[in-house]
């Protein structure tokens, strides 16, 4: 059946090579998705840049966020 078919062609391409190629593809796709996640610091900077300061307390907090 299928296992006999795979066994017949197992000598042509090493299993380690195919497994390494597969793992490289999976990890590469995961790394690309990981890099597209927006980080909270970047989002906080964008949000704080678009908020108008209306009182002294929010102005103080914007300075604290800016320097931390």
For the stretch 42-53, pLDDT in tens is 777 777 777 665
Cβ atoms 65, 48 nearer than 8 A? yes
High-pLDDT (> 90) share of the chain, %: 18
For the chain, give the mean pLDDT: 78
pLDDT single digits (tens) 5-25: 877 877 777 778 888 899 999
Report the alpha-carbon distance of residue 42 to residue 65 in Å, rounded: 11
pLDDT score recorded for residue 8? 81
Cβ atoms 66, 58 nearer than 8 A? no
């Amino acid at each position: 059946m299928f296992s006999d078919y795979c066994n017949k062609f197992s000598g042509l391409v090493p299993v380690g090579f195919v497994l390494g190629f597969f793992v490289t593809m999976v990890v590469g796709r995961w790394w690309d998705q990981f890099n597209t996640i927006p980080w909270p610091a970047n989002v906080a900077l964008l949000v704080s840049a678009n908020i108008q300061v209306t009182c002294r307390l929010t102005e103080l907090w914007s300075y604290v966020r800016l320097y931390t």
